[in-house]
Amino acid sequence: MGENVNTIIEKISDGSSGFSGKEEEILRRAGNIIKSGGLVAFPTETVYGLGGDALNRESARRIYAAKGRPSDNPLIVHICRVQDLGEIAAEVPEEAVRIADAFWPGPLTMILKKADRVPGETTGGLDTVAVRFPSHPAARKLIQYGGGFIAAPSANLSGKPSPTEGRYVTEDMNGRINMILDGGAAGIGLESTIIDLTVTPPQILRPGYVTQMMLSRVLGEVDIDVTILDGSSAQAPRAPGMKYRHYAPRGDLVIVEGTSEHVAAYMNRKAAEDARAGERTGIIGTKETVGQYRADVVTCLGARKDQDSIARNLYSALRQMDDENVTKIYCECFTDRDFGQAIMNRLLKAAGHTVVRV
Ligand code: AMP
Ligand code: MG
């Protein structure tokens, strides 16, 4: 789609108590844009998506162009009814039905063999398709009005953190797509869990809010792609998108691990040295510790124990560092248990796996 498109920006509520007549009208118009081959960015419960008709190869091409994304990186197809799974998957295994029952609508994407009607442009040339049924009311309405099958990657320019607020979508996509539905803050703040059901046992390709433990309660044994746990693995990640240097701020990001006293002493010393060398410095901390930090920009992700808050605020903290032209960033390290596996996966990617132990 390139640049210089007139982008309509519409504010809508989160829809938790239904949509007004005016909002319904906006969502219907947005659906018509999708059906006629255009692109609409919309809120979901994970991050904002950049949607086009999943069954239209031209729409997929436009999505790649708008994001500046390599076209071998497949898109997730969003549906609004479980029964539509059978329309885009060649077969629906029993495991798919079980996890759909347990986690849909919600932040879980499953990989299945694709049906012939899904164009290769949507799946990055793969014979599998990624499918998700999101829970966000605006996303569900848009999918319904847009024809039932919306291909949507995250609505950021390729290489930038996924947008968790409408204003970040506008920053990245204004002039490149037809419409932005600004529904405020996305709830979870990290992208969906991706599980591949075409292999035995099923394998997690990207950790997210739905954890390995939650999935194995429903499915029994569940593997995880080794490249997620081991950043130095020479193997290529199985979700093509995970191989790119995603989620990255422009400044150099270093994760600092250790006791809170050691971490604070180290970060403050490094930030002071960096400042003397002419750098602009930033520290990403938590409620318990931010008071101790000294840098040009200090930001807080929430209480250490509150994984939901850390996840929700992580990408906006990284974007804030870009907005404030910070060149050297230090961030605390978190547990990789439960939802922490997703948090640390994104943080390690953003830092290019640079971790200092103090
Ligand atoms: P995004 O929507 O921007 O979070 O990106 C979608 C993610 O899903 C990327 O990491 C893709 O590589 C991954 N993905 C989509 N379709 C498939 C598929 N058929 N097989 C494996 N990974 C996929
Ligand atoms: Mg993305």
pTM (predicted TM-score): 0.95
State pLDDT tens for residues 110-146: 999 999 999 999 999 999 999 999 999 999 999 999 9
Mutate to test the pocket of ligand 1, among 199, 204, 206, 315 (most ligand atoms within 8 A of CB): 206
Q: Residue 1: is its pLDDT beyond 60?
A: no
Structural domains in the chain? 8-228 (3.90.870.10), 252-357 (3.40.50.11030)
Q: Average pLDDT in the 55-72 region?
A: 92
Q: Is the CB of 154 under 6 A from ligand 1?
A: yes
* Structure confidence by residue, pLDDT tens digits, 169-204: 999 999 999 999 999 999 899 999 999 999 999 999
H/E element holding 322? helix 307-323
Owner of token pair 């997929």:
60
Contact 194 CB / ligand 1 (< 6 Å)? yes
21 alpha carbon – ligand 2 mean position (Å) = 32
Instruction: Give mean pLDDT, residues 196-218.
Output: 97
Give the pLDDT band (50/70/90) at residue 287: very high
Ligand 1 within 6 A of CB of 95: no
- Going across the sheet that includes 49-53, the strands are 8-11, 179-182, 40-42, 49-53, 150-151, 76-78, 128-132, 108-113, 193-196, 203-206, 223-224
**Which atom of ligand 1 lies at the shortest distance from residue 191's CA?**
4
Residue 165 has pLDDT above 60, yes or no: yes
What is the helix (H) or strand (E) element at residue 113, kind and residue range?
Answer: strand 108-113
